[in-house]
Amino acid sequence: MSDTMKAVDIKGGKGPISSLHITTIPRPVPTGSQALVRIRYFGLNRMDILQREGQYPVPPQAPSTLGVEFSGEIVGFGGSPEGSFKLGDAVFGLAYGGAYAEYIAVSTHMLVHKPAQLSWEQCAGIPETWITALQALYLVGEYKPGRSVLWHAGASSVSIAGQQLTRADGAKAVYATARSEDKVRFCEEELGTTKAFNAGKGQEPWDEQVLKETNGEGVDLIIDFVGPDYFWQNLNAAARDGHIVSLGFLGSSKLEGGEGLGAFVRKRIRFEGSALRSRDEEYQGKLRDQLVDHALPKFIDGSFKVLVEKVFPWEEIQEAHALMESNKTKGKLICKIDW
């Protein structure tokens, strides 16, 4: 096996889409609990755009190469891997970085055996999105059956996962927002969401739509990726004793305007921010186990859908990033590495 490999790099360390290119870098060497995985497919995530632009705080243990989710085969081990894996195993998993490459060294605690019922490209689109949704819903949001949940950016991959998880676990109602009628229909018809609200320009404010739909009660749990642009509306749409979980900033990161914070006290609202990539391996390993126990059986029997929008040859990584930036997708973007 060569000491080098091909990987996607960023000219100058950060930059626009045109800075992405494939080059040769040293192949990682697994240590400790790590496995060396030869990658067949890797998934794209919006954090990749921010990291490419130099706006994402990369964990210190992460390599500079983009990418956190992948599928492939184990070709090597460090000194103390998890005992359930062996050479040649087909796996998919979550990493701190380095998935835009032919090989990755990743903790075996973050690997999952690939089911025969799922394709390689489907498996590459599961780890980051579904584990993020599980974390937001259960560990941070403290969801319990019988509560209502609103997922913002309803056609994004994490919200696609979250709407399915919430429906399957006895929610009182599952809501979503999206910024086009096409995506609203997608949430309702493809995912079975109770009601999706058009949050696009020229529409009735989505929080007022929520209050009408809930007879003024609001929503128990709101999962938000948009950030300050939705902050005041989130307060309005939240139910008494509601919980708002903030996972990102698709819009602005600066809070402006508003009519005061009285709703926090009046409604007894909890507002909580969270991130997955900065968590330690033990925390992420628990979520891996939850994915295996809670979601994997439903992937296998077809109850949960892994929606892949498009698969690109990894040589077309610039085109893949351009489509991701367009915000026109309804599912995962995946890149394939030919062996």
Q: Between 106 and 82, whose confidence is greater?
A: 106
Report yes or no on 282 lying in a domain. Answer: no
Which pLDDT belongs to residue 264?
A: 73
Beta strands 103-107 and 90-94 are unpaired
**173-178 β-sheet, strand order:** 195-198, 173-178, 148-151, 219-224, 238-246, 270-273
Residue 201 tokens read as 């320009």
Q: Residue range 37-42: average pLDDT?
A: 98
pLDDT at 254 over 70: no
Nearest to 179 by CA among 166, 197, 205, 161: 197
Q: Are residues 188 and 244 in the same domain?
A: yes
Q: How far apart are CA 215 and CA 230, in angstroms?
A: 21
Q: What is the domain count for the chain?
A: 2
Share of the chain above pLDDT 90, in %: 82
Q: Are residues 231 and 207 in the same domain?
A: yes
Residue 145 tokens read as 């059956």
Q: Between 69 and 247, whose confidence is greater?
A: 69
Report yes or no on 73 lying in a domain. Answer: yes
Pair 255, 228: CB distance under 8 Å? yes
Q: pTM for this one? A: 0.91
Share of the chain above pLDDT 70, in %: 96
Q: Are residues 91 and 54 in the same domain?
A: yes
Q: Between 227 and 152, whose confidence is greater?
A: 152
pLDDT at 255 over 60: no
Report yes or no on 160 lying in a domain. Answer: yes
The residue length of the chain stands at 339
Q: Are residues 18 and 108 in the same domain?
A: yes
Q: How far apart are CA 289 and CA 296, in angstroms?
A: 10
Give the domain extent around 28.
4-126+307-336
Q: Are residues 93 and 140 in the same domain?
A: no
Residue 318 belongs to domain with CATH number: 3.90.180.10
Which pLDDT belongs to residue 188?
A: 97
Q: Are residues 58 and 85 in the same domain?
A: yes
Nearest to 37 by CA among 84, 80, 83, 95: 95
Per-residue pLDDT tens for 155-200? 999 999 999 999 999 999 999 999 999 999 999 999 999 999 999 9
Report yes or no on 245 lying in a domain. Answer: yes
Which pLDDT belongs to residue 250?
A: 57
Pair 106, 37: CB distance under 8 Å? yes
Q: Are residues 216 and 311 in the same domain?
A: no
Q: How far apart are CA 113 and CA 240, in angstroms?
A: 42
pLDDT at 69 over 70: yes
Residue 140 tokens read as 């941070």
Report yes or no on 297 lying in a domain. Answer: no
Residue where a domain stops, chosen among 273, 291, 315: 273
Confidence of residue 81 (pLDDT cuts 50, 70, 90): very high
Residue 146 belongs to domain with CATH number: 3.40.50.720
Q: How far apart are CA 333 and CA 150, in angstroms?
A: 24
Q: Are residues 18 and 121 in the same domain?
A: yes
Per-residue pLDDT tens for 108-148? 999 999 999 999 999 999 999 999 999 999 989 999 999 99
Per-residue pLDDT tens for 6-37? 999 999 999 999 999 999 999 999 999 999 99
Q: Residue range 296-305: average pLDDT?
A: 96
Report yes or no on 302 lying in a domain. Answer: no
Q: Taking the CA of residue 132 as centre, how many other CA atoms within 13 Å lie in the half-sphere pointing to its CB?
A: 32
Report yes or no on 300 lying in a domain. Answer: no
Report yes or no on 293 lying in a domain. Answer: no
Q: Are residues 143 and 237 in the same domain?
A: yes
Per-residue pLDDT tens for 88-99? 999 999 999 999
Q: Are residues 59 and 148 in the same domain?
A: no
Q: Which amino acid is present at 281?
A: E
Per-residue pLDDT tens for 281-295? 787 888 899 999 989
Q: Are residues 120 and 134 in the same domain?
A: no
Q: Are residues 223 and 236 in the same domain?
A: yes
